[in-house]
Amino acid sequence: MKLRMAIVGCGEIAGYVAFLARFVPRLRITACCDIDPDRASQFARRHRIPAVYSEYDALLDRELLDAVYLAVPHDLHLPMTLKAAEKGKAVLLEKPLARNTAEGQELIRRVSANKVGVNYQYRYDSAAYALARAVQKGELGEIYSIVVQVPWHRERRYFEEASWHRSLERSGGGTLLTQASHFLDWAFWALRDKPQSAMGYTASFAFAVEVETLAHGVVQTQKGTLISIVSSMVCAKEESVSIRVDGQAGSAIYREKPLLTLKFQGVKVKAEKPPLRGFHALQRSLAAFVAWILDDRPYLIPAAEALPALAAVEAIYRSAQTGKRESTIYR
Ligand SMILES: NC(=O)c1ccc[n+]([C@@H]2O[C@H](COP(=O)([O-])OP(=O)(O)OC[C@H]3O[C@@H](n4cnc5c(N)ncnc54)[C@H](O)[C@@H]3O)[C@@H](O)[C@H]2O)c1
């Protein structure tokens, strides 16, 4: 049996997903949809997708689908997920879950009968997976500290070609929500913990935009671990993401580039492999979503699992406004 899925939003990330979908054996991209009809048609031609739509409602009404993949601006995450769920479709929703925790909680409440997954694909990155499993199995002992750096660079075209990125109303936030939330999501999953409070600063350098292009935050989890995160899209030269984990028994350092590496210090750990095969984390995330829908094998990020990252981001944003330590919804 194959999963019939439509791609909704034929922009930046959808191109990678359409390409990688070819390497996921039981997945068929049977339709695509974009509010921009030319973009939708070009995308369909490029990826040999048989049916093309420029209206989401028409796609849901007319096409025989098991699932939709939603790669749209953040303000559409909640309404489009709800529409698909009402029609009984499974949803693979691009991250973040929503613009803020109120929307995220509403989404979780209203789709509880449906399978909705959030594509935080770093959970399927082989080194990040191995590190998370080592943390979960207690190989590093009690975890005291996680330090994440996301020193990225975005060109002017990032805001010009997808203008919703500029708007706080449409995106809900800048680099912390759009980029660094991947690694906050990873951290709460690795720790099997939730954010309790946070402090942070945000700034908007280099571009005339409403969202932050630089954020520094510290989050304390319910169990007491301190997570420090620096996220930027204004580094003059993009560098690798790094994650440092310090525990009572040992430490670990993850780097994504130039080569994916994971080094343990003070402990010997046999690295666990991700549950699905594939050459890219995004591909494994897609394959895992397919296995969830067709075989009921758990997907690592059902919607409710994506809420802690959103709660942490929201608390950092609030702290940046108030200048105080802010509690999360998990206080
Ligand atoms: N998982 C990842 O690593 C990753 C990477 C990049 C982006 N993303 C996420 O993917 C989502 C999309 O980001 P992007 O960078 O591809 O944005 P984008 O602007 O390049 O693409 C969004 C597309 O949605 C279309 N669209 C807007 N309104 C629509 C509607 N009502 N119906 C149908 N299509 C509509 C736009 O025309 C555009 O083509 C965001 O949630 C973003 O955070 C995830």
- Convert the pLDDT of each residue in 280-298 to its tens digit: 999 999 999 999 999 999 9
Q: Which two tokens stand for residue 270?
A: 């046999």
Examine the pLDDT at 270 and tell me if it is beyond 90. yes
Ramachandran class of 48: left when φ > 0, alpha when ψ lies in -120 to 50, beta otherwise = left
Read off the pTM: 0.98
The secondary structure of residue 26, as a DSSP letter, is T
CATH code of the domain in which 9 resides:
3.40.50.720
CA dist., res. 70 & res. 83, Å (int):
11
Residues 257 and 185 in one domain: yes
Residues 146 and 251 in one domain: yes
Residues 8 and 100 in one domain: yes
Chain segment 169-191, per-residue pLDDT in tens: 999 999 999 999 999 999 999 99
Residues 117 and 156 in one domain: no
Mean pLDDT of the chain: 97
Percentage helix, strand, coil, to 5, in the chain? 40, 25, 35
Examine the pLDDT at 331 and tell me if it is beyond 90. no
User: Which helix (DSSP H) or strand (DSSP E) does residue 181 occupy?
Assistant: helix 181-191
| 36-75 burial code (b ≥16 CB/10 A, e <16) | eeebbbebbeebebebbbeebeebbeebebbbbbbbbbbb
Report the domain count for the chain. 2
CB atoms within 10 A of CB 263: 11
User: Following CA atoms 214, 176, 187, 114 in sequence, which dihedral angle do they give, to the nearest 10 degrees?
Assistant: -170
Q: Give the Å distance between the CA of 86 and the centre of ligand 1.
A: 22
Does residue 56's CB lie within 6 angstroms of at least one atom of ligand 1? yes
- Which of 10, 13, 83 to mutate for ligand 1's pocket (most ligand atoms within 8 Å of CB)? 13
